[in-house]
Amino acid sequence: MSEEATRIVFGLSAQGRPEVEAPLAELLAWVSARAGVTLVHEAAASYERLAERVQEGELDLAWLPPLVYVRLERKQLTVPLVTLQREGRATYQAVLVVRPDSAIRALEDLRGTRAAWVDPLSAAGYVLPRGQLHARGLGPQGLFAIERFLGSHPAALDAVRSSEADVAGTHGSADDAGLLVQQGKPDPSLRVLATFGAIPADVIGARKGLPEDVRTNVARAFVSAGEDEAMRPLARAVFGVSSFCLGSEASYAGWHRSLPAALASGLLVAIDADDSQEG
């Protein structure tokens, strides 16, 4: 098989995360060698653009957040290769975080504050927290004085730390002191205001037209990377995960059911006309 025939384009949304370039390149080179392909990566400017590029056939593989994966799966455009597990779990939680010294102590205190979100299609970094606020009578209009999308979880959290925002949505949990815990480590600079969940894990998905033997080899190579002592730190640095599991380990049934309602409520942007007409 020629190098051109085995060239596989891997897409991800890494806006505001230049630090992942080097570890991602090293990880993909390792996976390439074991899968017998040439993996190259291309960054998308947003989750929406990532989904569009998968739909347009420009990407062979992609790191897909839950909502992007569900929407592409509904259109039968992608199949899951591996599930990205955090601390051995196939689900994770969304949290709202503030600074430890913040006067914000309850969700009602969010009125008039500044929110930092990840992306309009980020389950933990926007959609689930915003949906839960809406369900509790704190609707999209008039709650926040300012809302911004910053493109990545680290960027949203940094906005709170630097006092450029009052609250941010992200993934994680709270320790006994109420501090944000991500990747098993408490963050003394951020306090958890509220927790929502559970969210099915991200997946690495492949376009339907990619040959099955290629999909199988790449999936197995990613699983091996999560088990390799040298590759595990790179996987954590890029994806924030502890391991990869074959296929889709989490249930997306609830997200499939809630997608039309989220679109209809205006809490979720539509990638295309077909999405906006579902219901």
Q: Is residue 259 located within the same domain as residue 195? A: no
The pair of structure tokens assigned to 75 is 């259109």
Q: What is the pLDDT of residue 1?
A: 40
Q: Is residue 96 located within the same domain as residue 156? A: yes
Q: What is the pLDDT of residue 273?
A: 42
Residue 27 CA to residue 29 CA, distance in Å, equals 5
Q: Is residue 109 located within the same domain as residue 173? A: yes
Residue 67 domain flag: yes
Residue 279 domain flag: no
Task: Please state which of the ranges 15-24, 34-43, 196-205 shows the lowest mean pLDDT.
Answer: 15-24
Q: Is residue 70 located within the same domain as residue 115? A: no
CATH code for the domain in which residue 158 is found: 3.40.190.10
Q: Is residue 71 located within the same domain as residue 208? A: yes
DSSP codes joined into one string, the chain: --TTTTEEEEEEE-TT-GGGHHHHHHHHHHHHHHHTSEEEEEEESSHHHHHHHHHTT--SEEEE-HHHHHHHHHTT-EEEEEEEEBTTBSEEEEEEEE-TT-S--SGGGGTT-EEEES-TT-IIIIIHHHHHHHHTT--SSSS-SEEEE-SSHHHHHHHHHTTS-SEEEEE-EE-TTSEEEETTEEEEEEEEEEEEEEEEPPEEEEETTS-HHHHHHHHHHHHHHHH-TTTHHHHHHHH--SEEEES--S--HHHHHHHHHHHHHTSS--SSHHHHT--
Q: Is residue 115 located within the same domain as residue 98? A: yes
Higher pLDDT, 201 or 197: 201
Residue 225 domain flag: yes
Instruction: Find the angle CA(114)-CA(120)-CA(123) to the nearest 5 degrees.
Output: 100
How many percent of the chain have pLDDT more than 70? 86
Task: Tell which of 171, 199, 227 closes a domain.
Answer: 199
For residue 249, how far is the Cα from the chain centroid? 16
Residue 73 CA to residue 86 CA, distance in Å, equals 22
Q: Is residue 193 located within the same domain as residue 111? A: yes
Q: Is residue 171 located within the same domain as residue 210? A: no
Residue 258 domain flag: yes
The pair of structure tokens assigned to 170 is 């992200």
Q: Is residue 192 located within the same domain as residue 227? A: no
Task: Please state which of the ranges 179-183, 217-221, 258-262 shows the lowest mean pLDDT.
Answer: 258-262
Q: Are 104 and 110 within 8 A, CB to CB?
A: yes
Give the residue-averaged pLDDT of 116-134. Answer: 90
Residue 1 domain flag: no
Does residue 87 carry a pLDDT above 60? yes
Q: Is residue 136 located within the same domain as residue 176? A: yes
Higher pLDDT, 102 or 4: 102
For the chain, what is the domain count?
A: 2
0.75 cut: is pTM over it? yes
Q: Is residue 101 located within the same domain as residue 189? A: yes
Residue 278 domain flag: no
Q: What is the pLDDT of residue 74?
A: 83
Q: Are 38 and 8 within 8 A, CB to CB?
A: yes
Does residue 267 carry a pLDDT above 90? no
Q: Is residue 214 located within the same domain as residue 194? A: no
Residue 2 domain flag: no
Does residue 139 carry a pLDDT above 80? no
Residue 119 domain flag: yes
Q: What is the pLDDT of residue 261?
A: 57
Residue 60 CA to residue 9 CA, distance in Å, equals 5
Q: Which domain holds residue 100?
A: 91-199
Q: Are 55 and 205 within 8 A, CB to CB?
A: no
Task: Tell which of 151, 183, 199 closes a domain.
Answer: 199
Task: Tell which of 199, 227, 244 closes a domain.
Answer: 199
